[in-house]
Every structure is written in structure tokens, then in C-alpha cells.
Chain A
Amino acid sequence: MQKPLFELKGVYKRILKNINLEIYKGDRVMLFGPSGSGKSTLLHLFNRLHDPEKGNIYYNGDSIDNYDIPKLRKNIGLVLQQPHLFPETVEDNLKYGPSLFEEWEQEWVNQLLDYVNLPKSYLKKSVDELSGGEKQRVSLARTLANKPEVLLLDEPTSALDDQNIERIEEVLMRLITTKDLTVIMVTHNIEQAKRLGTKGIFLQNGGVREEGLLPQMLDRPKTEELKKFTTNI
């Protein structure tokens, strides 16, 4: 029997109350729920940007507290809602993670731009010259530069227009299918969750109200709360 990649047991943090979850390698988990339901807080627990006030988180069967924090964060990459790019150039951003661990290779950086559908000429471009969608793609590439095993995505398309959402989704889909990545993504967009996810977790008031396989879970919600959420969106 496959062991869970992540296991959360009785986790409490801020609004989150008694979260029990299992996430397996290769899962594409979509976290959704109303604003303030604790989605981002939950996401940040996976790479220790937050720690639980109570309860335990296990990664590969071992308590997450036993891992070296920088290495853990390298393996469990996070893409934030806003790109928050570093000065000056695109290349500086892509080099940032690998240079922290002295694993910097030019060839790999060139490939990263391919992954996110940006031309190589962008390497020397200042981040101030990029559009919103391009910035988010650079942010995604910056996280991928660390070759993470798990990709955490905190509403990466929420600030983008439809055309850019489509582009980012294309990039994500290609990455998910070609790379052996486990994805945990916060999204407000139900259709996006159906397109990208294999499993769904519906959070409300800090608790898991419903979880299941996608898209079935969203097409036939079991709880009244999820029904309401899907119809109100």
C-alpha cells in the first residue's frame, strides 16, 4: 500500500481547526472554499512558512520538524498569489534558488524559460518591463528552478485576465504531465479546479467540509455547503 507523501493529524493554526488529511505522491490537490476559510494558511503549513499551533504534519513518513528547513522549502516549492519578483533581471530571479544551494547551471535556466513559454531573450530583461502574466510565469519558473518534488500554488492566476489564466494553465498542465510533480493548489475558480486537479478539498470556517475525486466531487457535491459554494461562484 502506498504511503502518504503528506499526512496532517489534528492540525490547528489560526482559523484552521482539527485538519486531518492525506496527500499522495502525484496527487493534484485543489484547495477551495470561501475567503478566510484558511486555504492559504493550510498551504503555507506544507513548507513551514507557518507551523501548526497543535497537531502534526508528516512528510514522507517523518515529522516535518525533522527536516532541514531550507532544504524542505527547496523540495516543496511555493508560488505566491503575487509574483514578488526580486530586482533586477529575469535571470537574477531564476538563479536565486539554485545559487542558494550552489546548484546553479546556465543550461537549466534556459530550459526553465521554455517550460513557461518565454523566449530566451527574456533572461536579461528587467522584471519591471514584464506584464502581469509574464511576471507570474517568471515566478513559476523561479520556483521550478529549485527542481521541487511538490509544487504549492497559492491562487497563481487570481490577478490575471482570461488570456493569461489560459497561458498559465497550459504551462501548469504541461509541467504536471511531463514532470513527476505533486501539486497542491489554492483556487477560487471551480472550472480551473476541474481542469487541473485530481482531488479536491473544500474548506469552510477552518475545517475540511468535503474531500473527494475531481471532477465528480464538484459535479455532485455531497454537502449543502459545497453545493451552495459551487452555485454561488
Chain B
Amino acid sequence: MDRDVSNFSLLVLIVFVMIPFTISYFYQLGLKKDILWSSIRGALQLFLIGLILTYLFNLEPMIGIPIMLSVMIIIATFHARKKGKELPNVFLTILSGLIVIEIFVLALWLGFDMVSFTPEEIIPMSGMVIGNSMVAMGLSLERMKSEFSTNQGKIIAALSLGATPKQASHLSVRRTLNAALIPNIDQLKTIGLVQLPGMMTGLILGGVEPIVAIKYQLVISISIFSTVSVSAIIVSLVMYRFFYNENMQIVDLDERQNKNG
């Protein structure tokens, strides 16, 4: 693409930021600080990542790609674990989950020649997979905590009838998975109809033929669809165990967190 967005045009973006800022001011939403901070932070992050990407793209792929993927996975893990910090081993579960997902996706992409092993392709596409998996894991953790809290009576009833934690959690795990998968299914159903997906838009703006852009979009959309499902399953099937102790009793998460300091 020959065109560039001028620095002046970028400055004009402030107008877009001022719209939610003004809404927050008039309706006293208390979000002014958040709006300003997230806009500035987002812009700085993007410029910083632009510089890092330029540097990494110039490195050997075998060096640049693993460095960037590791950084993305670690940041995503720190972010997703916030949603379930009362639970033990949450960091390790998310970290290993994201590593497994990334290896699985890379194996498919490279094994079937969908993507070439270059930083320009692997890093942005992996970023999308890791980012979406991070969101799915965080949402699954949140949903699972709320399911266990809402259904605690039913879980105790099931345990008291002789159910194992796995059996007693069946309903909550099923609902968590449902909640994680349904938005994804809906998104895939309306893909391209309601909005053009980000990657495809980027490629078309970059001058790529729409049909080629669609092929890439399909690779990434189906990959995200699958990895989000795997993320939700990993979180649900591993984390439910931490709601119980070794004697098949429900644990008080706050009490445990206080004990662990």
C-alpha cells in the first residue's frame, strides 16, 4: 500500500476519543480517566509494538518468532489469571494451556502449508489466536466462579448423594462451556455479513486480492474458533477440581486465598 496515514490525521483521532469522554462527562459515568488512559496507553502500546515488530522482522525467524510468541503468551497469562486469582495453579494452567494451543495451531498451519514460517505471518496470526484464547480463558474462569457460586446448593446436594466432584460439577462445567462457545458460534455464523473481519480488512487495505484475503481470514477464523473452544475446555476441565479439596468437599475460595496470603 502506497498511502500512509499522516501524523496530522492521527492527531485528529483525538476527536473520536473526545466523544466517549464527553458522554462520560455529561452523564457522570466516572469513566473519563479510564477513557483517556486507555486511549493513550493503547496508542503507546501500538507504537511500541510497531518498533518491536520492525526489530523482530529483521531477525532470523528461528530467533524472532519464539521470542515474540513467548512474550505474548506470558503477557496473556498474566492478564487472564486476574479473573481467577483466588484459584490455585491458575497461572500454570493458563500458561500451559496457551503453550499447548500455540504449538497445536503452529503444527497445523505449518504442517499443511497454510502459513509460512515468517515473522510477518506467524506473529500477527498467533497474536490473534493467543489474544482470543486469553479472553476465552478469562471469561471461562469468571463464568465458572459464578456457576459454582450460583449452583453451590445443587453441588452440595449432588455431593451428599454420593457424586464425585467431577459428577457434581457436570452442570456447571457444561454451562461454562456453553457460555464460552455460543458467542463464537454466533460470530462465525455472521462473519463477513455484519462486519468484515479485521485480518481480511487489513489485507484488502494492504492491496491483497479479496479472495486471497478471504482464504487467510478463513484460516485464522477457524483457528480462533477451534482454539477458543480448546481454551474453554482446558480451563473448565482443569479448574473445576480446585473448587474441591481431596475429601470431595467444596472449599471456601476466600478462606483458602487468605490462608495462602
Contact = CB atoms under 8 A, between A and B. Distances in A.
Interface of A: 47-51, 69-71, 73-74, 77-78, 80, 82, 84-87, 96-97, 100-101, 139, 142-143, 146
Nearest to B161: A97
B162 A70 contact: yes
Interface of B: 153-154, 156-164, 167, 171, 247-250
Closest 4 pairs between A and B when the two form their complex, measured CB to CB: A84-B153, A74-B162, A78-B160, A70-B162
B37 to A, nearest CB: 44
A145 to B, nearest CB: 8
Nearest to A97: B161
B249 A47 contact: no
A82 B156 CA distance: 11
Contact of A97 (B162, B247, B249): B162
Contacts of A146: 161-162
A86 B157 contact: yes
Contacts of A80: 153, 156-157, 160
A205 B32 CA distance: 51
Contact of B162 (A51, A73, A82, A87): A73
A84 B153 CA distance: 6
A48 B154 contact: no
Contact of B160 (A47, A85, A86, A101): A47
A69 B162 CA distance: 7
B157 A49 contact: no
A77 B171 contact: no
Contacts of B171: 86-87
B248 A69 contact: yes
B163 A100 contact: yes
Contacts of B153: 80, 82, 84
A49 B156 contact: yes
Given A80-B153, A84-B154, A142 B247 contact: no
